[in-house]
Structure formats: C-alpha cells, structure tokens
C-alpha cells in the first residue's frame, strides 16, 4: 500500500478502514515520514486505536452518510476494505465499491490505493470479492483517472490498484 506514495518527502496519509491500526505499526517500522490519520466505520476499532496510539488522529465516520466529513490527505489507502462480500451479491458489491471510491477519491490530493481479490486463482471463494482487472480498469479510467497502475506481483491472490490525480 505504501508504494502509492511516489515522493520521499513527508506526506499526509489517510488509512481508510484502519481496523486495529496495523498499518500504522508498519509505517513506524519503516524509514518513511508520514503524517498518519486513521478512519474506520467501527467505533470499536476506532476506540481501540485511540487507546493504542495516543495523540494520533482516528475518526469514526460512515462516509456514505449525507454530509459526512471525509478527511483530506495527500494519499488515501484502503487495505482490505473491498476483499470480502459478506453475503452481498456480486453486482450490489461492485456498485458499493465503486460508489465508495467515487466518494473518497476527491479527498485525495495525489492518489489512492485499494486492493481486490483476483480472478486469476485456482478457485474462487464465495465469500470474497473477486474482480477482473479489466472491469475495475474500465471503472477507474471512466470515473476516477486514467493515471493508474495495477500490481499483482507480491505473491497473494489479490491485486492493488494505485490511482493518481496526475501522471508521474
């Protein structure tokens, strides 16, 4: 996820769907200087993060609610937010994912990263959200930005999409 950041200087990063804050642990062990902020829909996770990381900003927000405030950041990462369907049918899930991406992308000054389960697997799990590269690419190019990259070279049965406001 951190590979969405192109520059070496400090950046503002919003960890959208931060869960228990594990990405912050990773960032603290890296050599990157990041001004981190976490956001999650779950009050339980946000409370946990606030206890674990005093002084770090964590927001509990349903960004799809009318009038919800989405924090702005240079980069927004959405790790694991779209991998499970949890009983939702495929088309409803695709509409929810693309709706959320349309809502969040304008709040990233430079770019976003999100991951999805690959269709290039030996078998698909019914509870996971497997999306073909070409389908997500059509959406990204048509509604977000033509400046994007898809990476599937890191050994998992998923891929990460990096979407930028401008070319490198």
Domains and CATH numbers, the chain: 10-71 (3.40.50.150), 78-168 (3.30.110)
Q: Name the token pair of 40.
A: 């999650």
What number of residues does the chain have? 168
Does position 86 have pLDDT exceeding 90, yes or no? no
Band (pLDDT 50/70/90 cuts) for residue 129 is: very high
pLDDT for res 38: 98
Tell me what the pLDDT averaged over the chain comes to.
95
| Residue closest to 163 by CA, chosen among 151, 146, 138 | 146
Band (pLDDT 50/70/90 cuts) for residue 99 is: very high
pTM of the entire structure?
Answer: 0.95
pLDDT for res 32: 87
Q: pLDDT digit string (tens) for 139-165? A: 999 999 999 999 999 989 999 999 999
| Residue closest to 47 by CA, chosen among 35, 65, 59, 37 | 59
């Amino acid at each position: 996820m951190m590979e969405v950041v192109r520059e070496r200087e400090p950046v503002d990063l919003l960890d959208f769907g931060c869960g228990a804050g594990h990405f912050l642990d990773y960032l603290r062990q890296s050599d990157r200087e990041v001004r981190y902020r976490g956001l999650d829909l779950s009050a339980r996770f946000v409370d946990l993060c606030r206890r674990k990381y005093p002084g770090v900003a964590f927001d509990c927000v349903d960004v799809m609610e009318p009038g919800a405030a989405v924090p702005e950041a240079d980069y927004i990462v959405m790790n694991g937010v779209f991998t499970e369907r949890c009983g939702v049918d495929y088309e409803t899930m695709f509409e929810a994912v693309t709706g959320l991406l349309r809502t969040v992308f304008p709040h990233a000054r430079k770019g976003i990263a999100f991951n999805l389960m690959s269709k290039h697997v030996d078998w698909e799990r019914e509870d996971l959200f497997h999306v073909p590269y070409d389908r997500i690419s059509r959406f990204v190019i048509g509604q977000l930005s033509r400046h994007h990259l898809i990476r599937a070279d890191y050994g998992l049965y998923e891929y990460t999409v990096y979407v930028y406001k401008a070319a490198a």
